[in-house]
Structure 1
């Protein structure tokens, strides 16, 4: 990083304009200028790429050449920080973070074991449950199929490795379990009650500095559309339990829970990255993006619990024009 400019690359940037602008404001608060780089499979069709200072095309993140394309850009453009935005690229980036470090680029990512756990929803439930974090009863679909009498119906089903609400559904009874699925599926007890996301920040020493819950008032395509920050000590305690259960977690993570009237709050999902609703935590005063950049400026990480409650985010459709 130069004295006045920090170069940040957002991968699979898509529509993450709000996230890139959080980093622009964070850099300004530190007396820096953020030079935003963004990439996507179709950068000309990505709002975040068109809003960035520099944008370029990459193969799909499942392509073996994906990481090398990113490394080439990081070396050539002297990228300081790489921020991934989707689950499917996390494993490859976690496994190659040392290569990026050798190029002078820090990848905002947890260690490979943590990423492997959170990318597998069955492992997530097992690891958290063993650590005492409240989770819903869960089992592979094929196990439930042979012992349906041991379950209460209806139940919930989702892909073990899914994201963005892909493939989720409600099973009204055991007869709804398919004889075969295209991918491994997990059945969980059906939780009822309000749903929350908790954005959390874990510093370089593994300490949780902040946890900011918001209620997901409405959701569109798996991301919060309307949300409101809320203080609940139960949710903060759960965040601390997750940090303890995942000692290799670093930086920003988020998790979802449902506050069931009978079971209490139960965690059903973790994302080891900035979630789509992070801008609400940022606006409420969490300072997570600023905390990541502070390390480059030789300053202490500054993510905080001094954030505002009852801050509401109402998203709407906006347009980016090109040409």
Structure 2
């Protein structure tokens, strides 16, 4: 397969869809979202649904500055977010420390705490943003939005331990505040469809803030499924035209631990 940023990627995927009779395509990494969203109608013409929101949604969630602006405009609490260039525009008021990260990044790539302007790159290789540093418990909220645009399920898990942006230890929790945030995010992105997830830190000083949205299955989805919210089943039911078993009656207190294993041979 060509890489997902190759112009041949979509045509190669369409070739597999036609050859194998594929009816559902599920992207699982951020760089696949934009090309597949742009080609969704081509896949539909070949008999396959791409599990992806429209390009206008992907355009927002793949840009962390736009995400903060769109969420704030919709009344969703977000950390103060500015482009890196603002920090160099004296006398722009920056309250240090701040969190520095790529505007289109994922998996915690090139993200770090900046204690002062001396920690900022002069000529970054990609657009960067500065966000208010949040300190407090962190959650992922996984949501399922049906084809009619209705939020049907919202499963929150606390990120007890994180490595390279992925949850290594997590536990599901029910909290009305997190459910309300899910409803607010869904209203802010009215054309979003399928499975999405967003990150929340409940800051010790200012309360909950949404700071990242992924328009795809998150890395912690196995915990969501184990807790009883079988998003994969519900997608298949939609595609196959089966009666929907979607619900929001998942188990709180479900725990997931991840570990590395070495396989040695020879």
TM-score (norm: length of structure 2): 0.96
Cα distance 1:85–1:227, how it changes in 2: closer, same or farther (>3 A)?
same
CA contact (8 A) 1:226 1:313 kept: yes
Q: For structure 2, list consecutive stretches of 5 or more residues without a partner in the other structure.
A: none
Aligned length: 265
Higher relative contact order (CA 8 A, sep 6+): 2
Shift of 1:88: 0.5
> How far is 1:321 from its partner?
9.9
Q: Distance in 2 between matches of 1:301 and 1:121?
A: 33
The one of 285, 288, 292 equivalent to 2:235 is: 292
Q: 1:115 aligns with which of 33, 37, 58?
A: 58
Aligned counterpart, 2:136: 193
- Aligned mates of 1:145, 1:269 — CA distance in 2: 24
Q: Give 3-state SS (helix, strand or coil) of 1:99's partner.
A: helix
- 1:74 equivalent in alignment to 2:17: yes
Matches of 1:147 and 1:301, distance apart in 2? 56
Helix, strand or coil at the partner of 1:267? strand
- 1:235-270 CA-to-partner distances (Å, cap 9, x unmatched) read 110111111110110000000010101111101100
**1:5 matched to which residue of 2?**
none
Report the counterpart of residue 280 of structure 1 in structure 2: 223
Does the CA contact (< 8 Å) of 1:139 and 1:186 recur in 2? yes
List aligned pairs for 1:261-276, cutoff 5 A.
Answer: 261-276=204-219
Aligned CA distance change for structure 1 residues 202 and 319 (closer, same or farther; 3 Å): farther
Partner of 1:33: none
Aligned mates of 1:115, 1:302 — CA distance in 2: 27
Question: What's the CA shift for 1:145?
Answer: 2.0
**1:62 lines up with 2:13 in the alignment:** no
The aligned counterpart of 1:91 is 34
* Cα 1:137/1:303, change in 2 over 3 Å: same
Shift of 1:107: 0.5
Q: Tell me if structure 2 keeps the 8 A contact 1:118–1:270.
A: yes
Q: Is the 8 A contact 1:201 1:211 kept in 2?
A: yes
How far, CA to CA, are the matches of 2:205 and 2:114 in structure 1? 20
Task: Using the TM superposition, give the Cα deviation of residue 148 of structure 1 relative to its aligned residue in structure 2, in angstroms.
Answer: 5.9
**C-alpha distance in structure 2 between counterparts of 1:89 and 1:286, whole Å:** 25
- What is the alpha-carbon distance in structure 1 between the residues aligned to residue 75 and residue 243 of structure 2? 31
- Are 1:219 and 2:219 counterparts? no
Q: Matches of 1:320 and 1:232 in 2, distance apart?
A: 40
Deviations for 1:141-162, whole angstroms, at most 9, x for unmatched residues? Answer: 1112224661221110110111
Distance 1:243 1:321 in 2: 46
TM-score (norm 1): 0.79
Deviates more, 1:102-111 or 1:290-299: 290-299
Q: CA deviation at 1:219?
A: 1.2
Structure-1 separation of matches of 2:9 and 2:60: 22
SS at match of 1:146: coil
